[in-house]
Amino acid sequence: MHPLKLKIAPPSKSKLHPLTRFLSKLRLFAKKQSHRVVRLFFLPYFLLYGARYDKMVLNESEFAGPICAERSQKGMKERYDLNTDTLPNIPTPHDCIIKEIRLDKKALVFVFEDDISYHDSIKHIKPCARSLTMTFRLADDIYDISLYIRGKPNRILHRAGAYREIDLIKHGDKLFNLPEKRTEYLWHYVGYRSIIVRLCSCTDVVLAVTVDYVELDWSV
């Protein structure tokens, strides 16, 4: 028979070199369980640097305690002036519940609930805070506060409720009794010597206040 017409069969597995057979099995194993191979390959790296990371986090947690305690002794008061050329970025206690609203001498005061750092809007900026007292220093007196409460919608005419202004001299209880109906702080808009605050109670409430500065007193 002519040599070119000879059919050469591929070598069987029994004729393969033991090292070649081992490498082929290793490749097959790597394809089927690649994530396990990678995890096994980087295991020393994770053990080494994972321990360092845990140690670093532990040191940060130990370091955060004295900072919060030191700030609590100082009162953790933050003042934001609204009568300057640059408007401040005042933290917003979004969704936090107001448990008391009172009017001090030339100041409107919001006292918030305990465990305020439970909310997402607070836990990333003040993780050690328990409560918050927010003081709006009025430019003059109670006439600097404008209160608007949204009325009930007209279901017959399919119209949303309109906002109506409340005279605080005659009906100051409309503002100070809001915490009895679970009032939440939503957002505020800052302007020059003015701030607009929106609250959510049994209905929507909007406050337009003329202020010189806003003070946040965090308790821990």
pLDDT in tens, 128-169: 899 999 999 998 888 899 999 988 776 666 566 788 899 888
Give the pLDDT of residue 141. Answer: 83
Mean pLDDT for each 10-residue chunk of the chain (220 residues)? 48 57 66 52 45 38 35 69 93 95 93 92 90 94 90 69 86 89 94 95 93 94
Tokens representing 125? Answer: 């900026």
Tokens representing 56? Answer: 């670093």
Distance CA(189)–CA(170), nearest Å, equals 27
Question: Residues near 108 by Cβ (< 8 Å), separated by ≥ 6?
Answer: 101, 135, 136, 138, 145, 209
CB 161 within 8 A of CB 167: no
